[in-house]
Amino acid sequence: MRNRFQDFFEEDKYVFLKKHLYNYLLRKRAIEKILRGESPELILEVGSGLSPVMAASEKIVFSDLSYTALNYLKRTHQRGIFVVADATALPFKPAVFSHVICSEVLEHVEDDQRALNEMGRVLNASGGLVLTFPHRRFYFTNDDRFVNHFRRYENHEMLARLEIAGFAPVEFKKILGPLEKITMSVVVFFFSMLPKKKGIDQPDPVGFRFKILFETIFKYANRLYMGLVWLDARLWPEALSTVKLVKAKKQP
């Protein structure tokens, strides 16, 4: 099966929209916050795609299954190391990373346990894993199918997988709530109804001006909506969160 995201990686408009999407920004902020006060030596971001959650740095290795995505990332980020890699067979020696970041990736991997085992293998003895994942099976709907999710996770399922991979969870945090799920389900429904364009678009000055206006509105609307979605996640109980973050350490 063709990687769904490979289709997106070939469209410039997707790159812009993804980087300004409210749920991506909230995940990025949550990961930055949980790493505050730490001094990573070498970080591996698994499944970075076009929009990694970690900022460009010489201390970061960005990895993804898509050459197209990493080629674009290398041109735009410039700093960092870029490695095309399968999460279930990471091409690194054991215990070389102080931190592994994996955000919204495991649900796309058929053998997610093997991917977690690989992350445990490449972390050093005091290494830390930070991952985010879609929460609760009953939320699985059209937007999950649209991006080829194999699953959503219950808490006990994630805990069991982490334990098998040699991790001890340190902290669980809720990132997104029901409003995010409702929003994405509605957006995907209407997006899937749009007709597919065929052929090569010709330059259109009016269309270009509309594109600039749309991107500006999209960017600031998502900033505003981000606050509402953040509040929604705080108000609902953890059992109803749609995306969660877990920080884990390697077991001695």
Domain ranges of the chain: 4-250
pLDDT at 197 (0 to 100): 54
Query: Which stretches of the chain drop beneath a pLDDT of 70?
Result: 1-16, 194-211
Both tokens of 179, joined, read 């409003």
Question: What backbone phi and psi angles, to 5 degrees, belong to 141?
Answer: -150, -155
Q: Does domain 4-250 have CATH number 3.40.50.150?
A: yes
pLDDT at 20 (0 to 100): 84
Is 41:143 a contact under the CB 8 Å cutoff?
A: no
DSSP 8-class letter at 240: G
Q: At what angle do helices 178-193 and 205-235 cross, to 10 degrees?
A: 150
pLDDT at 72 (0 to 100): 87
Cα separation, 138 vs 161, in Å, equals 20
Cα separation, 251 vs 55, in Å, equals 28
pLDDT at 8 (0 to 100): 47
pLDDT at 206 (0 to 100): 44
Prediction pTM value: 0.87
Chain position carrying tokens 């334990």: 163
pLDDT at 199 (0 to 100): 45
Please name every residue paired with 133 in a beta bridge, in sequence order, or none if there are none: 244
**CB-CB neighbours of 100 under 10 Å:** 24
